[in-house]
Amino acid sequence: MRNLPLGISDFSTIRNPARNYIYVDKTAQIAEMVRMFPAVFIARPRRFGKSLLSSTLRDLFGKGIECFEGLDIAKTWTDTTYKVVSLDFSAVRDVETLEDFLLAFDLHLQGRLRAAGIETSPDVSRFPLERWETALLTLPNSSLVLLIDEYDAPLTECLHLPKRFEQYRRVIASFFARTKSLSGALRFLCVTGVMKFKQNVLTPSFNALTDLSMMPQYGSLLGFTEDELRAYFSPWLERASDLCGMSHDQLISRMRREYGGFSFDERASTHVFAPWSILRFLTYPQNGFQHYWFDPCGTTAIVRNFLKVRGLLDPAHYDEPVEEDLAAISGADHILELQPTSVLVHTGYLTIKKATGDGAVMLGYPNEEVREAMGQLLCTSFWPAVNARTTLSNAFFEAIDSKDSHQVMLALNAIVHQLDYKDFSLTSECAVRQLIHIFCLGAGVNAKIELHSPRGRSDLEFSRKKFDVVFEFKHVKKAAQAPDALAQALEQIQTRNYGAQLPGHELLRFGIVFAEDERKFCEIGQA
């Protein structure tokens, strides 16, 4: 059984026979891409294989086809080798001043030029991009392959800091403009990133840069398709089937629900699995279907910081599909025009579910892993203080375990009262339900909303060590309407037998009413 390349994004390492790693062969698509386009851009979320793509191109152009023996590209590739400059802008993202950024940027550029055997000016007093330009002037036509991985890493780190963003943007835009002036030296250019910043960064500096991000034919260039999963990982799937006590098809179905569903295709004709999550799961399937998307210090922090300054999602809109124009999610000309939906799509929190016609698409969460991660992200934004979240969650779950309805209502009201009323007025049952769902996810509970049963859909369900818990929420405009609403909730629970499908121990079923005029839960009962 070949080894899983977990955390490895270097082509040579994966292809080293002594390491015996699985390599999912995407080289037929790579060959087509290089043949069709002299300069390309592709956006994907982090941990989706962009760095491996860049490494593959580096070895293809720098070392030649001998490294690709047995792969699809070996059948058709006839090109020679070139000087390859491989840049990774994530190496210069953790700086806070323009001066430090320029220094780090200069050191990175010059180091990568020297690694490619290209002479650079020793005059450190010169503006770094002038030294970059001067170095490329010495190169013959079509002699250089330029690979730029994570071009936007310095920018995405400061989406919530417009002044710093603009400073770094000007430097990166100047880099692309100077590189464009020397484009005669380029045989091939590939730029990857998470976000697409259009006019002010990439174009018009590189108006010949073809954006492959949502082209249907390249929808599976990064990530694993289901066919690839079955073909390349078959022994690992068999192992996981045994350890999880599932049939092969049941396992794939569950993996699709937990880790699949991503579509980087304007037609939504191709879907892929998140590589990082798949490799993590297959390494330790005995731990169950754990979730690996939530990353407090990486992408999650970027999205959370951006949403804080541009507007958090209303709880009523959480987990609801949304229709959007492709143009609105394909990028932005300016940071102030960057919309939250676009950020969520590019970072992988939302994906294209289907094309609806006239240039519009339906967006939604790709899978359960991402849905939970979004709940966790919003929870840490709605209740930012760690100690406060811990206190609230402890009180809530202690009340549940005590089976004391009144204490449960008090704990829920404490959760609501910590929320900023100006931002979230909780004017509907949907908003109330989604808010408590978000809180549960942030507290580490795998709560489900609108869970189907033979007779209907309950509002919220989750399991504890001793109990399975069901909530049916009602929303009223005035507290005087609450007793009737509670009676309705309890009758609904009983007649539709909510929670009957749960496999756990004792069943606790609560009906609870939120009164908008008093902004609190005011009636509760057990069915």
pLDDT in tens, the chain (527 residues): 999 999 999 999 999 999 999 999 999 999 999 999 999 999 999 999 999 999 999 999 999 999 999 999 999 999 999 999 999 999 998 888 999 999 899 889 999 999 999 987 766 555 668 888 888 888 999 999 999 999 999 988 888 888 898 899 889 988 988 888 777 899 999 999 998 876 556 655 556 789 999 999 999 999 999 999 999 999 999 999 999 999 999 999 999 999 999 999 999 999 999 999 999 999 999 999 999 998 877 788 888 888 877 777 888 888 888 899 988 887 666 677 778 888 899 999 999 999 998 889 999 999 999 999 999 889 988 898 889 899 999 999 999 999 999 999 999 999 999 887 777 778 999 999 999 999 998 888 888 887 665 667 889 999 887 888 999 999 999 999 999 999 999 999 999 888 876 666 788 999 999 999 999 999 999 99
At the topology level, CATH places domain 383-526 in Trna Endonuclease; Chain: A, domain 1 (3.40.1350)
At the topology level, CATH places domain 11-213 in Rossmann fold (3.40.50)
Burial 231-267 (b: 16+ CB within 10 A, else e): ebbeebbeebbeebebeeeebbebbeebbbbbbbbbe
Largest pairwise CA distance in the chain: 82
Instruction: Decide: pTM greater than 0.85.
Output: yes
Q: How far apart are CA 84 and CA 14, in angstroms?
A: 20
Q: How far is CA 52 from the centre of its chain?
A: 18
| Inter-helix orientation angle 386-402/405-417, to 10° | 160
Please give the structure tokens belonging to residue 262. 């991503």
Q: How far apart are CA 485 and CA 467, in angstroms?
A: 25
pLDDT number for residue 205:
54
Cα dihedral 334/339/344/350 (nearest 10): -130
pLDDT number for residue 201:
65
Domain ranges of the chain: 11-213, 226-287, 299-368, 383-526
Contacts of 33 (CB under 8 A, 6+ apart): 40, 212, 218, 221
Contacts of 40 (CB under 8 A, 6+ apart): 33, 189, 190, 191, 209, 210, 211, 212
